[in-house]
Amino acid sequence: MKRIVIEPFTRLEGHGRIDIFLDDAGDVANAYLRVPELRGFEKFCEGRPVEELPRITPRICGVCPSAHHLASTKAVDAVFHVDPPQVAKKIRELYYCAHMVHSHIAHFYALAAPDFVLGPTSDPAQRNILGVIAKVGVDIGLQVIKTRADAQHIQEVIGGKATHSVCGLPGGVSKAITEEERSDFEDKAKNMVEFSKFSLKLFSDVVLSNKEYVDIILGDVYYMTSYYMGMVDDNNKVNFYDGDIRVVDPEGKEVVKFKPADYLDIIAEHTEPWTYLKFPFLKKIGWRGLVDGMDSGVYRVAPLARLNVADGMATPLAQAEYEKMYSTLGGKPAHHTLANHWARLIELQYAAERLLELCQDKEITDPNVRTLPTATPTEGVGVVEAPRGTLFHHYQTDANGMVKKVNLIVATGNNNAAMCISIKKAAQGLIKAGNVATEGILNMVEMAYRAYDPCIACATHSLPGQMPLEIVIYDKEGKELDRLSQYIS
Amino acid sequence: MRTLVLGLGNPILSDDSVGFRVVQELRARLDKPNLTLVESSASGLNLLDLITGYDKLIIIDAIKTEGGESGKIYRLGAENLGAIRHSASPHDINLPTALELGKKLGAVLPQQIIILAIEVVDVTTFSEKCTPEVAKAIPLAVSMVAEELESG
């Protein structure tokens, strides 16, 4: 059996790796995603005051710290049995919409767009944000930078710090929003609504009007049927901050809608010897291995999953785009993995519109932003929709609020099985009879993975030095046959 | 001249915190006008926001090279970054790309960039402590930064 290793991923983290195993005919037998293990997080948290976790858990990952901050804050609310005042919930949601805007813009323009604006098999040296700007123009580049910075500014004002926020407290937030801040946020939010419209138009002009790209999105290589999970509000519309968690089957029928605190009744975790990352699956359906379809308990999270589980978007512009997407993709749920990029932009539109709504909410400057906790702390679960999918934080404490147990299921964990399946399907569709040795094909395998925008071992901020994209091909005895390296900036 | 000393890393991931520690030490002993000391876990586009508007930038970060000697400090310039594809985060662009992007978009970027990279041992265990080999390198890194600041 031949073995191909893609390590590390381009435009993704420096330590992940895809192993592709070929059979004697040179076709793909199996493909696996391997991630490095970060050790000792539970132990690190144990024995600390639970109200510190909203400041510690965002350090796991430098990418979506605000998602961890809020999931953790909500879990701590639950541990202390305290319900924050309405305005505190609105401030948290406002802050979180700004985070979504920030994160989704960065993903689309820096990571997703290069594959489409420049083409999936284009020269890797050009296939990055600089290449995108060379094509679409410097003005748009400036808009990307400005809109992102505005979203970051809102997070900083509310959160107290730009990346690692400190605003979430059990029972509320640390400070209110002043009228001056509100009015500044409102101006920024208006621009974000416009920029989101522009981004969707760009997607429509560049991707949807190009038959080649539409064929790639709709093709078998990036198609997989699965269950989907995401948070919805009382009207079953997408919500990032609060609500019940809904699961639909591959035909779009609701399987279950549950409260965050009941997640362990719904989800179980399978382990495999070759990776430390567990494989969550739906208990009711069961684990059938790394396979898709109705009989397999594998489910997906992230933007497309959120849209698939919901009945629609709660804001008008996003709703119109939602309808357009499903009519183009041929109905709901959509099983086209690459449609995640489209769904992400529709969510960008929603986040911007919702942000503006909250900025215009009469109650948002109410100074009573906290309910002081008085009950004895015990146990609690907090869930938010992170940019990359459903994020669970579950804490148990002693009567003094000292942490006894921490359990997290992160977005990438939820998607672990699905990512392995998607990579295998893409590899099977693209690699035939040992024909693997072109960068273009390998990038198209990576695109299956990139659609999920996985977050693995993100905390490692080390400069990795000279790290080539390395592809190692082994024959069936495990002997190295060929080694390809490329430096891609 | 405005100078930014930027410690990069993760403060709770063993040796990945080394950049933070060096900056914390510097803060305790340095108080100069036009000098800004920042600890950050930012990368890519966020990093670009941070470094815009300074004339000189000194970055302190962890590095892992093949067969490298633990605690060794490398002094690198922006020209050494050419081959690095992932300066910090999987979800963002790398430092050289961010710099190039900033240039293209007309941002005021530091003319002089110095990177002090410290060879690390463990960046995968959650801990507030560096390994002993890396902890030993901190005083030297601190004096190297001080020298860079003296040299203008």
Mutate to test the interface with B, among A15, A35, A462 (most CBs of B within 10 A): A462
R_g over Cα of chain B: 15
What is the pLDDT confidence band of residue A12, given thresholds at 50, 70 and 90?
A: very low
Mean pLDDT within A6-17? 46
What is the pLDDT confidence band of residue A487, given thresholds at 50, 70 and 90?
A: very low
DSSP E strand stretches across A233-317? 244-248, 254-258, 267-272, 275-282, 299-300
Tens digit of each residue's pLDDT (9 = 90 or more) over A208-227: 999 999 999 999 999 999 99
Given 3-state DSSP classes, what are the helix, strand and coil percentages for chain B, each rounded to the nearest 5? Answer: 40, 25, 40
Give yes or no for residue A463 having a pLDDT over 50.
no
Q: Is position A178 within any domain?
A: yes
Q: In Å, how far from its chain's centre is CA A364?
A: 28
- How far away is chain A from the Cα of B4, in angstroms, using its nearest Cα? 17
Give yes or no for residue B41 having a pLDDT over 60.
yes
ipTM for the whole complex: 0.85
- How far away is chain A from the Cα of B126, in angstroms, using its nearest Cα? 5
Please tell me the predicted confidence (pLDDT) of residue B64: 78
Helix (H, G, I), strand (E, B), or coil: what is residue B56? strand
Q: Which of A311, A307, A290, A295 is CA-nearest to residue A423?
A: A290
Nearest residue in A to B120, CA atom: A462
Q: Is position A23 within any domain?
A: yes
| CB–CB contact A138 B61 (8 Å) | no
Give yes or no for residue A464 having a pLDDT over 60.
no
Q: Is position A160 within any domain?
A: yes
- Of the candidates B49, B61, B84, the beta carbon closest to that of A152 is on B49
Please tell me the predicted confidence (pLDDT) of residue A259: 98
Give yes or no for residue A167 having a pLDDT over 90.
yes
| CB–CB contact B13 A459 (8 Å) | yes
Give yes or no for residue A279 having a pLDDT over 60.
yes
What is the pLDDT confidence band of residue A485, given thresholds at 50, 70 and 90?
A: very low
Helix (H, G, I), strand (E, B), or coil: what is residue A18? strand
On whether both A202 and A113 belong to a single domain, the answer is: yes
A199 and A108 Cβ atoms separated by less than 8 Å: yes
Q: Using a CB-CB distance cutoff of 8 angstroms, which residues of chain A are in contact with residue B126?
A: 38-41, 43-44
Rounded to an integer, what distance in angstroms lies between the CA atom of residue A70 and that of residue A66? 6
Rounded to an integer, what distance in angstroms lies between the CA atom of residue A421 and that of residue A427? 10
Q: Which of A3, A39, A10 is CA-nearest to residue A24?
A: A3
Q: Using a CB-CB distance cutoff of 8 angstroms, which residues of chain B are in contact with residue A11?
A: 90, 93
A16 close to B (CB below 8 A): yes
Report in angstroms the alpha-carbon separations of A178 from A157, A365, A366, A370, A384. 10, 6, 9, 16, 26
On whether both A156 and A217 belong to a single domain, the answer is: yes
On whether both A207 and A349 belong to a single domain, the answer is: yes
Q: In Å, how far from its chain's centre is CA B77?
A: 11
Q: What is the CATH number of domain B3-150?
A: 3.40.50.1450
Q: Is position A70 within any domain?
A: no
Lowest mean pLDDT among A62-76, A170-184, A289-303, A424-438: A424-438
- How far away is chain A from the Cα of B117, in angstroms, using its nearest Cα? 8
User: What are the phi and psi torsion angles at B74 (to 5°)?
Assistant: -105, 135
Q: In Å, how far from its chain's centre is CA A132?
A: 22
Mean pLDDT within B10-19? 90
Rounded to an integer, what distance in angstroms lies between the CA atom of residue A117 and that of residue B128? 43
Please tell me the predicted confidence (pLDDT) of residue B79: 76
Comparing A6 with B43, the larger pLDDT belongs to B43
| CB–CB contact A464 B41 (8 Å) | no
Give yes or no for residue A375 having a pLDDT over 70.
yes
A133 close to B (CB below 8 A): yes
Tens digit of each residue's pLDDT (9 = 90 or more) over A434-457: 776 577 777 788 788 888 877 654
Q: Using a CB-CB distance cutoff of 8 angstroms, which residues of chain A are in contact with residue B62?
A: 461-463
Please tell me the predicted confidence (pLDDT) of residue A273: 80
- How far away is chain B from the Cα of A456, in angstroms, using its nearest Cα? 8
Nearest residue in B to A456, CA atom: B90
Mean pLDDT within B43-51? 84
Give yes or no for residue B69 having a pLDDT over 50.
yes
Average pLDDT of chain A? 87
| CB–CB contact B10 A62 (8 Å) | yes
Please tell me the predicted confidence (pLDDT) of residue A16: 60
- Of the candidates B97, B123, B127, the beta carbon closest to that of A129 is on B97
What is the pLDDT confidence band of residue B92, given thresholds at 50, 70 and 90?
A: low
Average pLDDT of chain B? 86
What is the pLDDT confidence band of residue A107, given thresholds at 50, 70 and 90?
A: confident
What are the boundaries of each domain within chain B?
A: 3-150
Comparing A287 with A12, the larger pLDDT belongs to A287
Question: Is the peptide bond prior to A316 cis by the omega test (within 30 degrees of 0)?
Answer: no
Helix locations, A160-290, DSSP H: 179-203, 211-218, 263-266
On whether both A216 and A340 belong to a single domain, the answer is: yes
A140 close to B (CB below 8 A): no
A78 token code pair: 């639950």
Number of domains chain A contains: 2
Q: Is position A55 within any domain?
A: no
Rounded to an integer, what distance in angstroms lies between the CA atom of residue A438 and that of residue A398? 56
Please tell me the predicted confidence (pLDDT) of residue A63: 64
Nearest residue in A to B93, CA atom: A110
Q: Using a CB-CB distance cutoff of 8 angstroms, which residues of chain A are in contact with residue B91?
A: 12-13, 63, 106-107, 111, 453, 455, 458
- Of the candidates B45, B88, B104, the beta carbon closest to that of A461 is on B88
**Could you tell me which residues are beta bridge partners of residue A393?**
A382, A408
- How far away is chain A from the Cα of B37, in angstroms, using its nearest Cα? 15
Q: Tell me, what amino acid is at A199?
A: S
| CB–CB contact B93 A463 (8 Å) | no
Q: Is position A450 within any domain?
A: yes
Please tell me the predicted confidence (pLDDT) of residue A9: 42
* Strongest mean pLDDT among A183-197, A413-427, A451-465: A183-197
What is the pLDDT confidence band of residue A472, given thresholds at 50, 70 and 90?
A: very low
| CB–CB contact A59 B41 (8 Å) | yes
pTM of the model: 0.90
Please tell me the predicted confidence (pLDDT) of residue B23: 97
Q: Using a CB-CB distance cutoff of 8 angstroms, which residues of chain A are in contact with residue B109?
A: none
What is the pLDDT confidence band of residue A248, given thresholds at 50, 70 and 90?
A: very high
What is the pLDDT confidence band of residue A261, given thresholds at 50, 70 and 90?
A: very high
Report in angstroms the alpha-carbon separations of A175 from A139, A154, A169. 36, 13, 10
Mean pLDDT within A258-270? 97
A426 and A221 Cβ atoms separated by less than 8 Å: yes
Mean pLDDT within A251-274? 95
Please tell me the predicted confidence (pLDDT) of residue B130: 96
Please tell me the predicted confidence (pLDDT) of residue A469: 34
Tens digit of each residue's pLDDT (9 = 90 or more) over A109-156: 988 898 888 888 888 778 888 899 999 999 999 999 999 999 999 999
Q: Using a CB-CB distance cutoff of 8 angstroms, which residues of chain B are in contact with residue A460?
A: 10, 13, 16, 123-124
Please tell me the predicted confidence (pLDDT) of residue A127: 81
On whether both A15 and A109 belong to a single domain, the answer is: no
Give yes or no for residue A430 having a pLDDT over 90.
no
- Of the candidates A138, A163, A456, the beta carbon closest to that of B105 is on A138
Q: Is position A316 within any domain?
A: no
Q: Residue A140 maps to which CATH number?
A: 1.10.645.10
What is the pLDDT confidence band of residue A471, given thresholds at 50, 70 and 90?
A: very low
Domain of residue A467 covers: 2-34+426-486
Comparing A117 with A284, the larger pLDDT belongs to A284
Rounded to an integer, what distance in angstroms lies between the CA atom of residue A239 and that of residue A70? 14
| CB–CB contact B97 A128 (8 Å) | yes
Window A:154-173, CB contacts with B under 8 Å:
162-164
Residue A445: count of CB within 10 angstroms of its CB: 28
On whether both A477 and A360 belong to a single domain, the answer is: no
| CB–CB contact A459 B10 (8 Å) | yes
A62 close to B (CB below 8 A): yes
Q: Is position A440 within any domain?
A: yes
On whether both A105 and A191 belong to a single domain, the answer is: yes
| CB–CB contact B87 A164 (8 Å) | no
A456 close to B (CB below 8 A): yes
